[in-house]
Structure 1
Amino acid sequence: MFLTIETLFSDAGIVSAIIQRVNQTRKDTIYWQQYLTFRQVTTRVFKDYIGQISGVMAGSINSRFGEKPIRERRNIGSGYGEIAYLGDAYQMSIDRLSELQDLIDKFNQAKTTDQATAMNEIVNFIQDDFRQTMLAAHKRMDIVVASLIMTGSATVKNKDAAKENQNAPDLLEIDLPFNFITPAASDVIVDSKNMFISYLREKLNAIAPDYGRYQKMIMTRATFNKNILGSSEFGESYKMILGSNEMNLSTGLISSALASQVFTGIGLPSIEIKEDYVKDQTGKNVQIYADNRISLLPTDQIGYMRHHTPYEKTDPVQGRTYNQADGQMLISNYRDKNGRYMEYTAEWIPQISNPNLITNFDLTTLNNIPQG
């Protein structure tokens, strides 16, 4: 087998092996997959059922010969979702292509028995290029899904225009009908003491008949420190015995697992502290979970990442070889007079099931954060 850079990227068997290697060795966490799973949709615009009833009304007990009362079926609210188009092309640097060519030359010069080892070196080298290409769409969805979970909305602007103009047009805009609660200082401050934890417990008990019990609540470390550890109740009331050690939780040195034990012990959902960052297109690491918000989820899995067959799969660009990754993502490599490029194409959109059963505490007013 004689190998060139062109045949390397056009050989479906080799590229599939590289994609498989990336999936097996990937250390990067895809945050959105904690909450959503892939599910295909056959049309780009699809009906999205919201407000689906998870509880069933109790049936009537009738006398032996009595007529059955006629009940009206409880309606399911609906809206429409539209698939988003994701894609980028990455130019491969001359330096990396030169290194790759050296490895290919080594492969071509190797004996047949040694070619497997030489091919493994090629796969190990090129997998990082595939890793960055394959993860780009996932990282974008990490930002979108985290924004939806924490604020009930997500907006993505035109990536080029947004650099120069903050009023750039929106390419993606989603708003969800969460159960939003906005406490004021008067709801929490009692006799000059911050009683946020008691307020939270009372509020959750009050909404339980309509919204059910929540499995967990999501917040950032800053929100936890300010609104939970910052509550007067922690320093005065809440201590917990862990093994032989008594910990005063007002220290702020508390892990997510320990926080969950404390909260479930006082009748609240388990807590999950989020400190996740994604590098944006300017190269800056951005916090993807919003401060001053607490979102309560009924379960970890709250919906689906809907994916649609990309148009290029049915009408491929002439001369390109496409390989498929999760969610029908297409990976291709091509050459023009300006260089060689690696490109991905995907059509995804997050779909949150039963968003009206998710409760979100907006603490911006309570924390005196200016609205903007």
Structure 2
Amino acid sequence: MKLTLETLFNNTEVFKAVIDRSMVTRDDEIFWKRYLDFEETKSRVFKAYLGTVTGVTAGSIIDRNSNKPLRQRKSLGSGYGEVAYLGDRYQMDNDRLDMIKSLIDKFNAARPADQVAALNAIIDYIVDDVRQIRLAPHKRMDIVVGDLRSDGIASVALADNPQGITLLDMELPVKKIKPTTGDKDNFITYLKKQIEALRPTMGRFSVMEMSRSTFTKNIVGSSEFKSTYKMIMSGAQVALAGGLITDAMANQVFSGIGLPPIRIIDDMVALEDGTNKQVFKDDRITLLPQDKIGKMMWHEPYEISDPVPGKTYTRLDGGMWTSNWRTDEGRFMEYGAEWIPNFTAPNKIAIFDLSTMNG
């Protein structure tokens, strides 16, 4: 097979191999998939249920000769969500195209036995270009879902979306709690009492999420934790005194006093200006009922049903598509997707805002 630039980018098998290879590094983990699964919506505007009942009401004990009491399912609070449009375009400059052309020439000149290695060299070179379009919408949703989990609010501002538009603005009916400066010295006791008070209406929480900074400052740095609970840690007292305690060590303490385990969130996403954004905010502790807390709603983009002539399309999960084409200005690659997170039961999520307590 003689390979050219055109056949390279228009060969769906080769392009799929590039896409698959662009998803193998730890740095490119899609964080939002820990919490949500894709679900298709046939309409861009859809009903979002906000009060799904997660517990089962205890059955009634009745007299053998009496009628059974009539039960009704609790009504679900509802609102409406609308998918957000995601898309970017990338241009491959002539220097990169010249290098790809050189690699293609080596592939065409190679013996059949060496062509696999030569093709792998081509794929390795263009992986980063494909990686950008493959992961960009996922990274945006990583930020949005991180904001919703740590603050209950998500928005996209022009400063964070250059050359885009300020469109996304979401607020969830989560339970928000703000401890005061007076709660700081006995924060662990305060946290335990608050969680116990929430259980009759919100049920049990499976995990407490927080950033590493919040963990170090408000858990490990708590005077109550140091003085009262270091005895439970026994052999870890030296590490505790040196400020080197881990979340696993803290969870030994928390499990003994009935608190949910801690999960430290260190996730970062790169922005257009070269900086990195922390996905989960500092000074927040979020209590989740379980790991999977909703769906990433997706709608099939119009361009898939009415493709533009001259473009080669590749379809990916969640209705996302990528395409590439050639003009006299160079070769371009782009993507399109229509997604929005839909939290199934946000009223079962509690967020502690420690900004006031920490001053």
| TM-score, normalised with respect to structure 1 | 0.90
Q: Is there any run of 5+ residues in structure 1 with no aligned partner, and where?
A: none
Question: Hey, what does 2:262 align to over in structure 1?
Answer: 271
Check whether the contact 1:234–1:250 (CA below 8 A) recurs between aligned residues.
no
Question: Hey, what does 1:9 align to over in structure 2?
Answer: 9
The AA in structure 2 aligned to 1:135 is: L
Is 1:345 aligned to residue 341 of structure 2? no
Question: Hey, what does 2:320 align to over in structure 1?
Answer: 329
Check whether the contact 2:233–2:249 (CA below 8 A) recurs between aligned residues.
no
Equivalent pairs counted in the alignment come to 359
Cα deviation code 1:5-51 (max 9, x no counterpart): 11111111211122222234564222112212222222211111111
Tell me which protein shows more strand as a share of its residues: 1
- Measured after TM superposition, the shift of residue 163 of structure 1 is 5.2
Question: Hey, what does 2:86 align to over in structure 1?
Answer: 86
Q: How does 1:15-34 map to 2 (within 5 A)?
A: 15-24=15-24, 27-34=27-34
Distance 1:240 1:329, change over 3 A: farther
Deviates more, 1:336-345 or 1:55-64: 55-64
Three-state SS of the structure 1 residue aligned to 2:269 is strand
Question: Hey, what does 2:309 align to over in structure 1?
Answer: 318
Cα deviation code 1:164-192 (max 9, x no counterpart): 9xxx9631111100011112234x16xxx
Question: Hey, what does 2:280 align to over in structure 1?
Answer: 289
The 1-side partners of 2:125 and 2:233 are apart by 47
- Measured after TM superposition, the shift of residue 70 of structure 1 is 3.0
- Measured after TM superposition, the shift of residue 119 of structure 1 is 1.4
The AA in structure 1 aligned to 2:75 is: N
The 2-side partners of 1:114 and 1:358 are apart by 56
Cα deviation code 1:64-104 (max 9, x no counterpart): 22233333431111111111111111111222111100011
Question: Percent identity between the aligned chains?
Answer: 50
Distance 1:275 1:325, change over 3 A: same
Three-state SS of the structure 1 residue aligned to 2:321 is strand
Cα deviation code 1:168-225 (max 9, x no counterpart): 9631111100011112234x16xxxx00100000111111111111111111122222
Distance 1:52 1:252, change over 3 A: same
The AA in structure 1 aligned to 2:172 is: L
Question: Hey, what does 1:65 align to over in structure 2?
Answer: 65
Check whether the contact 2:239–2:245 (CA below 8 A) recurs between aligned residues.
no
Q: 1:171 aligns with which of 163, 167, 172?
A: 167
Question: Hey, what does 2:122 align to over in structure 1?
Answer: 122
| TM-score, normalised with respect to structure 2 | 0.93
The 2-side partners of 1:100 and 1:242 are apart by 58
Cα deviation code 1:244-278 (max 9, x no counterpart): 55445353312233333332233211101222221
The AA in structure 2 aligned to 1:154 is: A
Three-state SS of the structure 2 residue aligned to 1:32 is helix
Three-state SS of the structure 2 residue aligned to 1:291 is coil
List structure 1 runs of 4+ shifted beyond 6 angstroms.
Answer: none
Q: Is there any run of 5+ residues in structure 2 with no aligned partner, and where?
A: none
Check whether the contact 1:238–1:249 (CA below 8 A) recurs between aligned residues.
no
Cα deviation code 1:97-132 (max 9, x no counterpart): 111000111112223333222212211211121112
Deviates more, 1:321-330 or 1:23-32: 23-32
The AA in structure 1 aligned to 2:131 is: R
Q: RMSD in angstroms over aligned alpha carbons?
A: 2.2
Three-state SS of the structure 2 residue aligned to 1:334 is strand
Three-state SS of the structure 2 residue aligned to 1:309 is coil
Check whether the contact 1:330–1:344 (CA below 8 A) recurs between aligned residues.
yes
The 1-side partners of 2:354 and 2:70 are apart by 44
The 2-side partners of 1:45 and 1:247 are apart by 56
Question: Hey, what does 1:256 align to over in structure 2?
Answer: 247
Distance 1:317 1:250, change over 3 A: farther
